[in-house]
Amino acid sequence: MILRLFSSPNGHLGKSIASLANVRSWCPAPMFRSTICRPKSTQVPANRVYDVNTKIPKDVMLFKYENPRFFKMLNIFAVSQFLFWGYLCHFSYTTLKDAPVQEDGKEELPWYKRVNLGENKYRNGIAIMCFFIGYGVLSASWIFTLRSVRYLVLRKGGDQVSVVTYAPFGTNRIMDVPLKYISAQESREAARVTVPVKIKNRALFYMLDMRGEFTNTKLYDYTVGLSRKLK
């Protein structure tokens, strides 16, 4: 009886096997195909933070910005401005003499002829203003120079970063900072002009000029390029 079922082309078991084969080869409509007939994906997932090895065996440069001529010209301009305004300060304090304006016909004179620049309040005010203008220009240029990053070097082991900045007199200023004390305020892809970087216990931001070169973008993004909470 069993052999007859297998051997008979019209047997019920043969029809059942054929129907099962048809079911296995059938796939639903396209709207259901993505959930029912989806093949197994063999694509390798993108690298995550913990997939990147930051424990490097040697020093690696992350960023460099070579533009010493600009900073040299900037500081020459700042020093010349300080000397110029300093000279005006000395000139106004020592040269302006007290020359009172006569009261007769004073109302008919233009306003600038009615002002006695040699009077103490005007003379001292002009001298102080000239000094602070020159000092302000010099200070702003030096602060900008000292906060402009020339090199970023991730030290061996990945726990320290050497931040090399420009200095006012053509030299470099180097400081080693723990990586956990550095926080990027903006991502490298989103920045247009500069990437501001905050260092713990340091006033103002350090600037990475986008005209510079990120020599190791992947390592930078997972070390210095991360945003951290600095307490």
| CA–CA gap between residue 148 and residue 71 (Å, rounded) | 9
Domain co-membership, 75 together with 141: yes
Using one digit for the tens of pLDDT, what is the confidence trace for 24-58? 444 444 444 444 444 444 443 445 545 678 899 99
- Tell me if 75 is assigned to some domain: yes
92: nearest Cα among 113, 135, 123? 123
What pLDDT is recorded for position 36? 42
Mention every residue, 6+ apart, whose C-beta is less than 8 A from residue 195. Answer: 184, 185, 186, 187, 188, 207, 208, 210
Cβ-based burial of 107 (10 A; exposed 0-12, middle 13-18, buried ≥19): exposed
Tell me if 166 sits within 8 A of 71, measured CB to CB: yes
Is residue 205 located within the same domain as residue 178? yes
Give the Cβ contact number of residue 27 at 10 Å.
Answer: 10
Q: DSSP per residue over 61-98, as a string? A: EEEE---HHHHHHHHHHHHHHHHHHHHHHHHHHHH---
Residues 6+ apart with CB under 8 A from 101: 109, 113, 114, 115, 116
Q: Is residue 90, in this structure, part of any structural domain at all?
A: yes
Residue 111: which domain range? Answer: 71-145
| pLDDT value of residue 53 | 82
Q: Is residue 205 part of a domain?
A: yes
- Report residues of the chain scoring pLDDT below 50: 1-46, 49
Q: Does one domain contain both 120 and 186?
A: no
**6 within some domain:** no
Q: Are residues 151 and 218 in the same domain?
A: yes
| pTM exceeds 0.85, yes or no | no
Which pLDDT belongs to residue 117? 77
